[in-house]
Structures are given as structure tokens and as C-alpha cells.
Structure 1
Amino acid sequence: MAATRRRGAELDAAIFDAVLTELRDVGFADLTVEGVARRAGTSKAVLYRRWSTKLEMVITALANTRLADITPPDTGTLAGDLRGTIHELLDRLAAQGREVALGIMAGAASEPNPAAMTVLRTKAEDLSGVIIRRARDRGEIGAGPVPATAATLAFDLVRYRFLMEGSLSAEAIDDVVETAAVPLIRVHASGAQAPGPKGSSAG
């Protein structure tokens, strides 16, 4: 009897599970589309119809599994919510292994891949949107629009520093949040003129 062909969410789940298993067993550098296809019981053609590169496939798998259920903690402050969310993200990535996390981030930095970066950017915008809305509700910041570039600055800087330094201390995360991200969000939310490119708004 022929196996039932899997489609949609069922096939995606099998592929994501295969990606995570391959990451654990061989690491990001040695992971191949062929290996994932074999483990998922599908073909390379099926994977390439969904994702154009290994990096895009891996980032999508992580975004839909390990990082899917992250909810920013409600600490009572904008800085605290950003800080807690960053720690949670780094902990989730660390669970995959430091070399895996570094490999993924190095790939994202060196390989032009708009689709993969869109997955990362969308996740950061979703998280920052929750955080900024909470800060508004508390009366902690004003009602002015916060461009996505400003809203996600903390996540972008953390990704860059993790790639350059290999790890981030609690003090380094505090520095990103307190001296860069929070002041910029406050300026935009207050309606004051802030330097930098315009973009879509979060929150």
C-alpha cells in the first residue's frame, strides 16, 4: 500500500522536525537540503519549491518551532520587556548549540537572502509591536508612530554583536536596551523629530 502523500501543515511539520534534527546531529555548516529531504521523507524539489536556500529553510523552521511561542514578558517597563525578550530569544537559540546559532547568524550576514531576512524581520517586528503597545498602555511612551527600524533596533544590534563577539553578557544587553533602543523609541513615540530613515511603524 502506497504511503499517503503529506501536504500543507503536515508536510511542513515533518520538514521542520527534520531541520531541527539535522541541526542537532550535523550542525548548520554541514546541514544539506538533501539530508533534510531524506530525513523528512520528501524530495529536494519539494523543499526548493518552498525555500530557495538552506538558510531560508533553517530560519523558517526555527521561527515556526523554537521561536514560535515566544511572548514578551510583562515586566512593567519598556526596557524590562525588551531585555527579557532578548534573553529569551538568546536562550532559545543557545538550546540549538552555540556553533549552530553562530553559523545561522553568519549565514544571514554573509549570504544575500531577502526572504530569510524577511522572516527574521517579521519576528522582530511582531515582538517589538507587543512591547511598544504595552508601553503605550502604561503611559510610558507617547502615541507617535515608531518606525520599524527604531522598534527593532535592539534585536538588530544584539544579532550583530552576537555574531561579532560570539556571546552577549547581561551588561551588553543592558547597554543595547538602555543606551540605544529605549531612547530612540521614546523620541519617535513622543512625536519629536528623530534622525534616520522612515519605515513602517510598529505599535
Structure 2
Amino acid sequence: MSHSQDQDKLKTRRRGKELEAAILQAVREELNERGYSNLTMDGVAERSGTSKAVLYRRWANRAEIVLAAIRERVPLPLEEVPDYGNLRDDVCGVLRSMNQNNIEVMMTAFYGLVTDIGAMPLASLIFPEGRNNRTMTIVLQRAVDRGEVPAEAVTPRMLTLPADLARHELILYNRPMSEQTIAEIVDEVYLPLVLKR
């Protein structure tokens, strides 16, 4: 390799957050294509353009790297929190994002993770530092600011209920939620509860 090629390689080397994001995206892609049982650290390293040594410095095994890929999307990145101008559409948007995230990672990995890690509570796996309700806090605060929802309606349970119902559907049936299911969760269960307060 020439000196200029070495220089080019150094210039394009990713570090820190950029490298981690590339690795976790590679994990999601590997899960989609190969499933959890066929996911390997070699495959993730190759897809992300890094080495196995780099992976093993951050994650001890396949289960840890898959959990990191799940946790990266929970809660939603701030720029992806829906803002359609009304509570109904915002909550539907949150559930659609959750649906997509679960299709990409959780549904292909859940049973393999349980096998590798053991019967730990799901909350301990996804929220090792405690549950973060940032997405629904933002959505409900906007609804309060618009006058759609009284401030006293924003209780801890109202912050967790949509995701809890969606997670139940996804794990129970091991398939993505339909638009009808999302609408039923929001229209028949969530909105009547939060708006009647």
C-alpha cells in the first residue's frame, strides 16, 4: 500500500459515535438478512468496514451487540419524534416507528436473545438504566401546549401505555402491527383514556 493510500485510509477512518452508528446499523442489516442465529461478529465487522477486535473492545458477544442495536433506537432519536400537529397522528406515528424498529431488530432477535441471555425481564434488557419515556413526554407535552390534553392527564402510565400495548402485540404475535391494530390501540384504548382525564 502506498503512502497516499495509507493517508486516505487514515482520513476516512471512523471513530467514536460515527463508528458505533455504522456498526449498529450493520447489526440491524445482518439481522434482517441472516436472522439472529446466523449473525456473527465476523459478518458485522465486514459489513461495517471494521475489525472484530474493534467490536470485541465494545461488546463481549453477539447478544450484547444486538442489545446495543435495540437500545440505540429506544427512545426514538429526537429528530424522529413525530409532530403532525395533533395527538392522534403523533401517537400513531410513534407506534409506526416502533413497528419499523421492531421489524428491523427485535422481532428477529428476541427469541435468540432470550436463549443466549436467559429469562431476564424484557425491561431489564431494553432499559438497563430504567425506562426512558422521552418520546411520549415530548408528544404529550405538545398536546398539552396545543390545549388537546389537560396537563394532569400526563401520568407515568399515560407515558408508557402506547408502547406497552404495541410491544405486547409485537411479542405476542411475532409480526408487525397492521395499520388497523395501530389505529385500534390509539382510537379505542389510548385516546379515550388520556382525553377523558
- Among 37, 53, 61, the alignment partner of 2:64 is 53
Using the TM superposition, give the Cα deviation of residue 61 of structure 1 relative to its aligned residue in structure 2, in angstroms: 4.5
Structure 1 segment 62-73 matched on structure 2, within 5 A = 62-63=73-74, 68=77, 69-73=79-83
The one-letter code sitting in structure 2 at the alignment partner of 1:175 is E
Using the TM superposition, give the Cα deviation of residue 105 of structure 1 relative to its aligned residue in structure 2, in angstroms: 4.6
Q: Deviations over 1:108-157 (max 9, x none)?
A: 777526252358943xx222112101211121221226333321211111
Match of 2:168 in 1: 160
How big is the alpha-carbon RMSD for the aligned residues of Structure 1 and Structure 2?
A: 3.6
Q: Sort the Cα spacing of 1:13 and 1:131 in 2 relative to 1 into closer, same or farther, 3 A.
A: closer
Q: Distance in 1 between matches of 2:58 and 2:41?
A: 7
Bigger mean CA offset, 24-33 vs 47-56: 47-56
Identify, as 1 or 2, the structure richer in helix.
Answer: 2
Match of 1:197 in 2: none
Structure 2: runs of 5 or more not aligned: none
Check conservation: 1:153, 1:181, Cα contact below 8 A. Answer: yes
TM-score (ref. length: structure 2): 0.68
Structure 1 segment 124-163 matched on structure 2, within 5 A = 125-144=133-152, 146-163=154-171
TM-score (ref. length: structure 1): 0.67
2:127 pairs with 1:117 = yes
Check conservation: 1:56, 1:116, Cα contact below 8 A. Answer: yes
Q: Distance in 1 between matches of 2:109 and 2:129?
A: 13
Q: Distance in 1 between matches of 2:18 and 2:112?
A: 28
> Which SS does the other structure have where 1:144 is aligned?
helix
Q: Distance in 1 between matches of 2:44 and 2:29?
A: 9
Check conservation: 1:55, 1:116, Cα contact below 8 A. Answer: no
Instruction: Mark the structure with the bigger radius of gyration.
Output: 2
Structure 1: runs of 5 or more not aligned: 191-203
> Which SS does the other structure have where 1:168 is aligned?
coil
The one-letter code sitting in structure 2 at the alignment partner of 1:71 is V
Check conservation: 1:83, 1:174, Cα contact below 8 A. Answer: yes
| Residues matched between the structures, number | 179
Match of 1:20 in 2: 28
Match of 1:174 in 2: 183
Check conservation: 1:105, 1:159, Cα contact below 8 A. Answer: no
Match of 1:103 in 2: 108
